[in-house]
Structure 1
Amino acid sequence: MPQLYLKKLQQTFLLLLALVVFTNRLYAQTSYELNFGWKCAPVKEVVADGYKLSGQAFDIKSWMPATVPGTVLTTLLNNKKVPDPFYGMNNERIPDIYKTGADYYTYWFVKEFKEVATPGNQVYLNFRGVNYSCDVYLNGHKLNKELQKGMFLRFSYNITPFLNKTGSNKMAVLVHPPDVLGNANGGQGGDGTIAKNVGLQYTAGWDWIQPVRDRNTGIWDKVAIQKTGAVKINDTHVITLVPGKRLPEGVQQPAIVKVDAELSNPTNAAVSGAVVYEIAGKMVSKSVVLKPNSTVTVKLDDYTLQNPKLWWPNGYGEQYLYDVKVKFVAGKTVSDAQNLKVGVRQIQSEWNDHTGSRQIAVNGQKIFIKGGNWIISDAMLRFTDTRYDAEVRFHRDMNLNLIRIWGGSIIERPEFYDACDRYGMLVFQDLWGSGDCNGRWIDPMKLEDQWTRRKYPDDHGLFLRSAEDQIKMVRNHASLAIWCGGNEITPPEDILVALKNDILPRLDNTRWFVDYSNSEEMSRNELGGNGDGPYGIQPLSVFWQHKTYPFNSEVGSVGVGDYESLKRFIPQANMVPPVYNDDTHKNKTDSVWEYHKYIGYDTSITKYGKVKNAEDFAAKAQLVNYDQYRGLAEGFTAHMWDWYTGFIIWKTQNPWTAMRGQMYDYYLDPNACLYGLHNGSEAMHVMYNPVDGMVMLANNTFKAKRSIMLVIKAYDMAGKDSLLTQVFVDIVPASTKKILSVKKILDEMSAKEGVFLSLQLLDTDKKIFSDNLYWLPDAKGDYSGLQKMKSNGLVTTARYLQSGKVEVTLTNPQNKVVAFFNRISLVNADTKERILPAFYSDNYVSVLPGQQKKIIVDYNPALFGKNLAIDIDGWNGASNNRLINIAN
């Protein structure tokens, strides 16, 4: 089962890759990636050295095909040398590098390619990421004088003098694993020594992932050939300044654009020319003379951009991106060029004395942060533009506006930032460190004491060089908002001082730097502890009633997928639902569920009835998922700018088949967490406080909302409605407003078997723009009425609006019961398997008697064709009438 889904995902990624390569060639014919045709072999099986291996005479035909970019483990998996480590207990069948020794995963990678040097031009071999160190040979020459070390360093070699005149070239790269392998002993980051490296910490295991057996050794990021004239543009820096307080609409006052470019001239002659950039049809240039064998940074004159189209975070305005073309021109010849996408915006931050926390502003407007914590897209570093786009789009669909990149991982790839730029997701980027590995707490699982761990990594100079390089790589992205020293701990003092006083002021001085992720510089801690949490199942009242940290960098709950999701990585023999013991307060959990880090739902599932099997458990878990994340978003939003300036959910995605903290699974299949969050985080929202019964409005926009109609109704289990009130209301921008309490009447109505509460906001055209349905328990706290609901009379139709877009219409006739909690899935009509990824304007939707709802489904038509159908799985739907044909 999982291999089938992976094959489909790989087809998606390869198609987009072809499109990206084609598009890049239109604009930059001087650069291409070396993605295919690599061969590899373990070092212990190779007797030749790099000089011989990179010679034309050495035969590598019998070597194993290698995946580059990729890791050794990815190559072994793709060659069926190891089982899929994401399925069942397969990871236990793969040798761990700590036990095998480093040589087991030390590999030679060899690539043949065609390229010739032409007079007056330079040819470069560029690596964007090798884990952890390497030696590089080309045509019998060694390119690096010393071992090239650093997972987070880009390497560039001028290979012009080493290219064969015939055009046939051969490269050999010997890749070594991390210097310190780390004992995966079950602790957070194993025994902690993985943090001695400047690299990934999660690869030694965490409470959401099992160890990655090769510690992600390999040429894990892109390898490219770049051809230029005499002068090469290394890094460009674009800063935009947007003074004053702006609104998304209307004529804008000017913005300032500041550009500088780092240029290198590797030749033995001086080069005269000009640096030129173009934005909005205007050219800015500066003449320069580059000395032989020199590298300089050239600052161009500031440009005043009239009536700019601004970039805004999701929910606040458009994400407009300007094309900025930068080039170096010598005479009439373009020596090198870069094409950038630039969002015109300015990030500000200031302390909020009322909340006791930092607040973020964009273009002068304060932004209530609704964020998600992100680990990495794929635990085995299989990155693609398509997957990045899908994952970031899901975050946009959750109505979030920020993604935090956790410090035990990486500075994400530029393609991730591209997606965040498109979808309006601010990025809070940690640097490499964690409280667990780097010594914040006493931990018996760790090999060394806190004093020693506090000095990790071993090579502080490598850390700082890596930080400089990666900052340059991503600093032009509009989405990048916050730099952070590390997860729950600062880096060592000398590193911290260098970052704050030198590197960031020099390379990227327009963003807020916070020392560590739950620092009191971000959120004043009045509650004790370390400024994060709570985690796991919470009574909904907690989110509303109990004040937590005013800018919470980690707060979260559960996240088990539905049965279709579980089938992708759990063998049928292990489809055994957990059983919670009320006396011991512990879960009896199957070994595979345990291995995949199941976190307990405790008593929340049985409130919906006794669990029949794993499928029933997973279905009921979706009700809990929806309620938990809607409640979390609403509880924090209810106190925005009073208790809180933001919250960041731990966590919204998994790079492995884990069973906790995820809005969608590894295979990009969303669960009800996503849509509960989508509902609770909408910009203009009506909500219900379960503690005091108060109906409230939240306006998280820059505009006042006037003369909107609030309709409050209750529905019993037979579908009979009771109008509680219907009233016009107003609300000012960036605020919440209490309307009235309906607790007393709802307590009476729900006492016997529960009740549905419908809250709707209608605009002056009588169109519903916030529609929120709660299911309230009976007097005992159980959902007894849901357990005996009649089947609904839902009528479902579907039609193609255009290629890749389907409209699903759900109609519930009058005098019927509520059509409750319907999961819509786009599926293959023959196999009934879900189309992944697919994007739904809403899901897990309920339709009231006499109501009609329309859901839009987006997918990639190039991959899945038209042999599709819609599957409807509702709580009280007819089980024999689920598949709906799609009309043309």
Structure 2
Amino acid sequence: MSTNRELQDWYFTQLGGGEGTKEGEWLKVSEFPTTVHVELLKQKKIPDPFLGLNEWDVQWVGESKWAFKSSFSVSQEELDAPNIDLVFDGLDTFATVALNGHSILEASNQFVAYRVAIKDKLKVGANELILCFESAFIKGRDIEQERGKLALWNGDSSRLHVRKAQYNYGWDWGPVLMTIGPWKPISLQTYQNRIIDMDLRSDISAALGVKLTANITFFESAPGLASFTLKHPDGSIETSVDKIPTDEGHCTFSFDWAPGKLDLWYPVGYGAQPMYTAEIELANERGQVLDRKSLKVAFRRARVVQDKLVDQEGLTFLFEINNIRIFCGGSNWIPADSFLTTVTAERYRAWLKLMVDGNQNMIRVWGGGIYEHDVFYDICDELGLLVWQDFMFGCGQYPAYDSFLESVRLEAEQNVKRLRHHPSVVIFAGNNEDYQIAESLKLELDYSDETSDFRETNFPARYIYERTLPEVVGKHSDIYYHRASPYSGQGKPTTDRTLGDLHQWNVWHGSQEPWHNWDILAGRFVSEFGMQGFPNIRTVDHWLGGDKTERFPQSRINNNHNKADGFERRLELYLVENFKHSFEMESYVYYTQIMQAETLASAYRLWRRNWGGRGREYTAGALVWQINDCWPVTSWAIVDYFLRPKPAFFAVSRELRPFTVGMTRKDRQTFLDDRSGAQFTIETILEIWGTNSTLHEKKVTMEIVIFDLHSDWTNKLSKNVILEPNSSTELYKGTLPGQPIRTKKSEIPKVLIVSARLIDETGEILGRYSNWPEPFKFIHFPPVADLNLKATVGTDGESIVLTADRPIKGIVLDVDGEDVKWSDQAIDLVPNDPQTIKAVGLNGRKIKMRFLGDGTA
């Protein structure tokens, strides 16, 4: 039987000595795998780069040379094995490896695993393994000098020549922290023969019948037999086959099941996520087991559908699972830490569970980070989260010289093979925004050219995205390949809103549109969009490190913890256009958070309206940039580094519930005739729609209550409606009741708040939304004393009932001390509609409430 032993007992040193270690001094590592910053932090050799301005005091770490060594014992029995390999699952990034003084490997790609046969270099007893790491930054600069400088957004241009996590070079949300070291396990493997590839493909018919084909490859062609077993999630054997000859070094076999015979895997909200276990056992002629491998697999029919639309140009870009068309509401994912080895399985689960709890069903693994660890995809499989997987190219004019291409091909092959069996992975995308780079720089990019080699152009990476990657994906998987994100196809640029996927950054970046324009900024699938917001004040105080002199929004430290170009101008642009606000720290945090919540909720609300049923899937998905941070920072994330959700997280969650109600109000000006500019009327037009993501129509009562913020006048409407399945349904369009028609712009409209609720037959409130006149800065809010806002804590100590006598906008709850786990935030409250919020960990503390017009502006 083959054996696999992970090497432990490691030491590290700074080669030549320096600030990290003295020359010749070896320090014991605290854990393995690891990287240098992590160990230096634990040894108190460097300050925490996540605090203050410390990021800039540790730059020497990434520009130094480091070594790691381990001594491991080998027995005579192990040495007698026919084959002995060292397996390096991941080295970051340029490393020379020596075993007992013999050079055995030169590594140059963080995303590649290396296997080296070492039997002839081992000895019985102690063996020494030394890994010497060069600085990826300096090595990259050297390569750049030789190969040429290329264009990019974010980070140092040398990164384009280095197959390393690109965000390490700094991004507009992340620090410059050039990690270095053995970031994945290293193991010693002995074997006679072994299983080197399990390629399990399931072909699901339109009728949902299943054909499973297995292609198994062995290390060597040798007499022997293999057996295969497929186990049901309950542990029972679904099917098996044995006595499969292995003489040719590979074998192929298949099984067929009629529709309904196997349990299919569905995205969260549409069905269960049954995971089967496929096991392969390899034995020799005498029946001795030589190797055994297993994979968790599932069965689903996944398609990217690009069909013609009714009433609009272009094609759909939607995901269909088991013949169900899915509106994908979710988030973009960046690496969860600047120091990857600190991210535990428990942290991954907490992040992904938070997404599911927030009604999200898709996550996009962005192309400037890493191909995530196996456990990440295992959890996505388990939870029913669809995965959009980028290849690791981001925002750059990447090269395509021979050695680079060879490394990229190996990287792609390994990771496609590793990820292809996960039912959650439904698309591979070639890169992040590289075609946008080419468009912006007017590089040689003729979209009508589908036959050229491209390597001799000034956009050579097109060869990677249109030749290498689709070939690898097509050969080694059945997963849909998309050339980039964004990418339109059909000869159109990436900004086209009628085809493919779109990164809609004309809110915040670009033309800096008002967020109210999301409806006219829609695309077929919006895979990036966002708005910044400060994190929880506790997170701000963490990075300030107790320096009260820096506790104001424009301080040097706060500026260092926002990496976006021009962020102060852009935050202020959107704040000043919409809110009266102050620059007191906690108040500023609140207003940026409410702004972010309003912006993102508006996008999901308007784009779900565009999911209008078959042939009218004008927008089929929205993935916010971004769910998470890699360090404590002000960014576009809707949950901060410490897993503290911002108010925007809850606002998005409400808009992704199975049933929602949405509204817009817009002024319509009509002139008396074509000659006069003084004689006109202004009417306020109200539109209301509902959404239903379930597969069945839903009868509900739509209840509308209109409030005048400055009087006791109200108007109530009630209507029985049917929400069509898996689509949006238009419910009302007309003038806003209670709002007089105006004939002069000096006539100030009434401040009317329109509250809508969807109520089912049992009285359960399925969805609610309050539409307020905007911009909020024009509203004269009533005195706080007139609101009679109450937060009544229930007998369980954690249920809070919110009530008020006047409509209130944007309530955010807080307490002194450690944070509470809130079930909702950024709450709009109206009279006679109490809302119950859970507050886990409240522990009898007084609840603080902040809202628009509370006097803190």
User: If the length of structure 2 is used for normalisation, what is the TM-score?
Assistant: 0.80
Asked if 1:328 is matched to 2:311, the reply is no
Match for 2:211 among 246, 256, 262? Answer: 256
C-alpha displacement of 1:469: 0.9
Q: 1:297 to 1:428 in 2, by over 3 A?
A: farther
The aligned amino acid for 2:799 is T
For the residue of structure 1 that corresponds to 2:632, the secondary structure is coil
Q: Which moved more, 1:551-560 or 1:120-129?
A: 120-129
Query: Which runs of structure 2 are paired with 1:820-859 in the superposition (5 Å)?
Result: 821-823=810-812, 832-834=817-819, 841-846=823-828, 848-851=830-833, 853-855=835-837
**Structure 1 residues 494 and 594, CA gap change in structure 2 (3 angstroms):** closer
Of the three residues 159, 162, 178, the one matched with 1:197 is 162
Match of 1:151, SS? coil
The Cα shift of 1:774 comes to 4.0
Partner of 1:301: 254
Residue 690 of structure 2 is aligned to residue 689 of structure 1: no
In structure 1, what residue type is equivalent to 2:302?
Answer: I
1:573 CA displacement: 2.3
SS at 2:427's partner residue? strand
Deviation per residue, 1:775-833 (Å, 9 max, x gap): 4458963463487764522211374xxxxxxx8322246x74567655467x9xxx922
What is the alpha-carbon distance in structure 2 between the residues aligned to residue 358 and residue 708 of structure 1?
30
Q: 3-state SS of the aligned residue for 1:470?
A: helix
Residue 602 of structure 2 aligns to a residue in which SS?
A: helix
Q: Which amino acid aligns with 2:824?
A: D
SS at match of 2:596: helix
Distance 1:843 1:324 in 2: 44
2:680 is aligned to: none
Secondary structure of the residue aligned to 1:468 is: helix
- Matched residue SS, 1:772: strand
Q: Which amino acid aligns with 1:127?
A: F
CA-CA distance at 1:701 after TM superposition: 2.9
Q: State the match for 1:359 in structure 2.
A: 318
Report 1:693-842 matches (<5 A).
693-705=686-698, 707-715=699-707, 722-741=714-733, 744-745=736-737, 747=739, 754-777=751-774, 781-782=778-779, 784-785=781-782, 790=787, 792-797=789-794, 799=796, 808-812=798-802, 816-817=805-806, 821-823=810-812, 832-834=817-819, 841-842=823-824
Partner of 2:267: 313
SS state at 2:410 partner: helix
Structure 2 distance, partners of 1:557, 1:358, is: 24
Change in 2 beyond 3 A, CA 1:272/1:762: same
Aligned mate of 1:505, from 451, 465, 474: 474
Q: CA deviation at 1:767?
A: 1.2
Provide the secondary structure at the position in 1 that maps to 2:468: helix
8 Å CA contact 2:381–2:423 kept in 1: the answer is: yes
Alpha-carbon spacing, 1:517–1:753, altered in 2? closer, same or farther (3 Å): same
1:793 counterpart letter in structure 2: K
Going from structure 1 to structure 2, the CA distance change for 1:787 and 1:149 (only over 3 Å counts) comes to same
What residue number does 2:654 align with?
A: 679
- Could you tell me which residue of structure 1 aligns to residue 176 of structure 2? 211
Would the alpha carbon gap of residues 272 and 297 (structure 1) be closer, same or farther in structure 2, given more than 3 Å must change? closer
Q: State the distance in 2 between where 1:67 and 1:748 align.
A: 70
Q: Could you tell me which residue of structure 2 aligns to residue 285 of structure 1?
A: 241
1:560 matches 2:513 = no
Aligned to 1:465: 410
Where does 1:378-417 land on structure 2 (aligned, <5 Å)?
A: 378-382=337-341, 383-417=343-377
**Residue in 1 aligned with 2:40?**
76
Map of 2:678 onto structure 1: none
Deviation, structure 1 residue 723: 4.8
1:466 Cα deviation after fit: 1.1
Partners of 2:415 and 2:780 in 1: CA distance? 52
Q: In structure 2, what residue type is equivalent to 1:539?
A: P
Distance 2:836 2:74 in 1: 55
Q: For residue 173 of structure 1, what is the amino acid of its counterpart?
A: L
Decide whether the 8 Å contact of 1:236 with 1:260 is kept in 2: yes
Of the structure 1 ranges 630-639 and 383-392, higher mean CA displacement relative to structure 2 is found in 383-392
What amino acid does structure 2 have at the position aligned with 1:76? Answer: L
Q: How does 1:398-797 map to 2 (within 5 A)?
A: 398-434=358-394, 436-438=395-397, 454-455=399-400, 459-489=404-434, 492-499=461-468, 502-508=471-477, 510-521=478-489, 531-533=502-504, 534-536=506-508, 538-544=513-519, 546-570=520-544, 571-578=547-554, 591-594=559-562, 598=567, 600-605=570-575, 607-611=578-582, 613-640=584-611, 641-691=616-666, 692-705=685-698, 707-715=699-707, 722-741=714-733, 744-745=736-737, 747=739, 754-777=751-774, 781-782=778-779, 784-785=781-782, 790=787, 792-797=789-794
Aligned-partner Cα distance in 1 for 2:522–2:689:
20
Q: State how far apart, in whole Å, the 2-side matches of 1:758 and 1:221 are.
A: 53
Q: Tell me how far apart the structure 1 counterparts of residues 557 and 703 of structure 2 sit (CA, whole Å).
A: 44
Could you tell me how far apart the structure 1 residues matched to 2:81 and 2:156 are?
Answer: 53
Equivalent residue in structure 1 for 2:301, among 346, 354, 358: 346
* Structure 1 residue 348, shift from structure 2 partner: 0.8
Shift of 1:319: 2.4
Identify which range, 37-46 or 466-475, moves more after superposition: 37-46
Give the letter for the 1:842 counterpart: D
The answer for unaligned runs of 5 or more in structure 2 is 436-459, 667-684, 742-746
The equivalent residue for 1:444 is none
Q: Distance in 1 between matches of 2:121 and 2:652?
A: 56
- Judged with a 3 Å threshold, the aligned counterparts in structure 2 of structure 1 residues 226 and 703 are, in CA distance, closer, same or farther, namely farther
Aligned to 1:882: none
Residues 1:618 and 1:635: Cα distance change in structure 2 (over 3 Å): same
2-side partners of 1:572 and 1:592: how far apart?
Answer: 16
- Give the counterpart letter for 1:646 in structure 2: G
Asked whether the equivalents of residues 356 and 524 of structure 1 are also in contact (C-alpha less than 8 Å), the reply is no
Partner deviation per Cα, 1:269-324 (whole Å, 9 max, x = no partner): 93412132322212323544546xx9x44323224275322222233222232233
What amino acid is aligned across from residue 480 of structure 2 in structure 1? W
C-alpha contact (below 8 Å) 2:338/2:630 kept by paired residues: yes
Residue 130 of structure 1 aligns to a residue in which SS? coil
1:142–1:154 CA distance, 2 compared to 1 (3 A): same
Which deviates the most, 125-134 or 597-606?
597-606
Gaps of 5+ in 1: 1-27, 47-58, 246-252, 439-452, 580-587, 800-806, 859-865, 880-888
Contact 2:488–2:496 (CA<8 Å) still a contact in 1? no
Match of 1:502, SS state, is: helix
Distance change >3 Å, CA 374–CA 532, structure 1 → 2:
same
Q: In structure 2, what is the equivalent of residue 18 of structure 1?
A: none
Quick one: structure 1 residues 173 and 271, their matched pair in 2 at CA, closer, same or farther if it must change by over 3 Å?
A: farther
After TM superposition, give the deviation of residue 506 of structure 1 in Å.
1.5
User: How big is the shift at 1:485?
Assistant: 1.4
Equivalent residue for 2:94?
133
C-alpha displacement of 1:223: 2.9
| Alignment partners' CA distance in 1, 2:197 and 2:786 | 63
- Correspondence list, 1:113-192, <5 A: 113=72, 116=75, 117-118=77-78, 124-138=85-99, 140=100, 142=102, 144=104, 146-158=105-117, 165-166=124-125, 170-178=128-136, 179-181=139-141, 188-192=153-157
1:77-99 CA-partner distances (Å, limit 9, x unpaired): 2222222222221111123578x
Q: How far off its partner does 1:457 sit? A: 8.6
Asked whether the equivalents of residues 685 and 699 of structure 1 are also in contact (C-alpha less than 8 Å), the reply is yes
Query: 2:465·2:484 contact (CA, 8 Å) conserved in 1?
Result: no
Distance 2:539 2:773 in 1: 27
Change (3 A) 1:612 1:500: closer
Q: Which residue identity does 1:128 align to in structure 2?
A: D
Cα distance in 2 for residues equivalent to 1:658 and 1:222 = 30
- Is the CA contact 1:543–1:635 (under 8 Å) kept in the aligned structure 2? yes
Identical aligned residues as a percent? 19
TM-score by length of 1: 0.77
Q: What is residue 4 of structure 1 aligned with on the other side?
A: none
